[in-house]
Structure 1
C-alpha cells in the first residue's frame, strides 16, 4: 500500500478554503452469505476505498487492475459513493470471483482541478488472502516495569493484507501517551518513553476494520504495572 500521511494543501484562487487530500484506507468484505471470512473462487468480494478530502464533493475516484484502467461491468461493479459508510468512499464489487480476477487493484483518488498529487492505494487480492488474527506473546502480560523506563507493549498481528493495530485503554477512558484516545501502530508495538505510575493500566490492542477484512475487530489486552 502506498499512501502519504498528508498532502500539502494549496489555495484555490476562487475560494477561501484549502484543497487537501489526506489519509486513504481500504477494507475487504467477503460474501456476507457465507460464515467464513476467506476469499474463495465463486464468491463475491467488495473492496472499499475511503479517502479524507477537502472539499469532499470534488473527490474523484478511479480503479486499476494490475496497472490498467477498470470500467464498471456486470461482474465488476464500481460505485462512487455508498450511503452506508462515511463520505469519500468508492466500492469495487467483484461478482462470482474467478482465478483470473486475482491481482493488484489500485484505487486512485484526486480532486477536480486540485493541482495536488493524487492518492493511490494498492490492494492485492489472491488465494492467500487471510483474515486478521491477534495474540499477545507469552510472558508479555502482565508486564512489570520501573518508573522512567521505556517499555514496549506488543501484540502479534497476522493477516494478508496485514491490518493496522489500534491501541487504547481497556479499563478506563483516558488519553494515550500522545494525547489521543487511540493510537495507530503498523507493527503491533506500543512504545512508551519515561513511564510513570499513572500509566499503569490494561491496554487494548485491536485490529482496525481498515487495511483488511471488514469483520468484527480482533482484540487482546496487556496489563502494564509501573512500580
Structure 2
C-alpha cells in the first residue's frame, strides 16, 4: 500500500503594516487622505486560507470607502489589504484581521491594528553614552537603540559591513525592545552595528536607521587605557 502524505494544517507568522497615503510625500496618517492596512499570514495548505475584517469587533464588508482585497491563494504568504479612502474621524478605531482555514480544526489568527490620531510613524535614536561602547573581551554588552512611534515596530540589528555576520552567526537579528545583547564578546565582534525599524508590525515607510560603534579590547589593552587616563588626571 502506498503511504499518504498528510500535511499538517496550520497558521503562523501573523504580521501587519500600515501604509500612509501613497499619493502624498508624508509618512503621517492624515484626515481626508487614504490609509492602507495590510495583514499577512502563512497558511498550510495555502488554498484553504480565508480572511475577514472587523472594526471595533464588528464584521466589516468591502465598500466604496472601505476596500478589502486579497492576494491570489497561490501567492504565499497570504495577504489581505484594507484601503480606507478619504479617512474620517469616525474611521478611527481598532481594525482586526482574522485568518482561518476552511476546514477549521485549528485556532484562528487575529491581528489588531489601531488607527487614531496617536498612530504615528517611528523614530529611532541611540541613547547618550551608548556609542561608542568600549568593553573587555569576555564581557556581556547591551547595544541599544530607542524607538518611538505607535505602533512600535520590531528593530532589526545587523553589521554595517553587510558581509560580516552577527555574533550569533546570522546576518540579521530581531529585537522587540531595541536591545542587542552580546554575551562573551570577542575582538572579532568589534565594529559598527546598525539598528533599523522593520516595515512590518508598524509603518510601511522608509526605515529609520542608527549606528552603534563597538570596540572590544583585551584585558591588558583595557587596563593600559585606564592607566593612561589615570596618569593624565594626576598630571
Cα displacement (A) at 1:116: 1.2
Cα displacement (A) at 1:91: 0.1
Q: Give 1:45's match in structure 2, choosing from 6, 24, 35.
A: 35
Q: Secondary structure at the match of 1:57?
A: helix
Q: Give 1:21's match in structure 2, choosing from 11, 19, 42.
A: 11
Paired positions, count: 213
Q: Give 2:83's match in structure 1, choosing from 93, 99, 121.
A: 93
- What is the alpha-carbon distance in structure 1 between the residues aligned to residue 72 and residue 81 of structure 2? 8
Q: Secondary structure at the match of 1:34?
A: coil
Q: Secondary structure at the match of 1:100?
A: helix
Bigger-Rg structure (1/2): 2
TM-score by length of 1: 0.89
Structure 1 gaps, min length 5: 1-13
What is the RMSD of the two structures over their aligned residues, measured on CA atoms?
Answer: 1.7
Q: Give 2:154's match in structure 1, choosing from 161, 164, 181.
A: 164
Cα displacement (A) at 1:57: 2.1
- What is the alpha-carbon distance in structure 2 between the residues aligned to residue 86 and residue 111 of structure 1? 14
- What is the alpha-carbon distance in structure 1 between the residues aligned to residue 191 and residue 9 of structure 2? 41
More helix by percentage? 2
TM-score by length of 2: 0.86
Aligned position for 2:135? 145
Structure 2 gaps, min length 5: 218-235
- What is the alpha-carbon distance in structure 1 between the residues aligned to residue 37 and residue 189 of structure 2? 39
Residues 127-146 of structure 1: matches in 2 within 5 Å? Answer: 127-146=117-136
- What is the alpha-carbon distance in structure 2 between the residues aligned to residue 174 and residue 15 of structure 1? 41
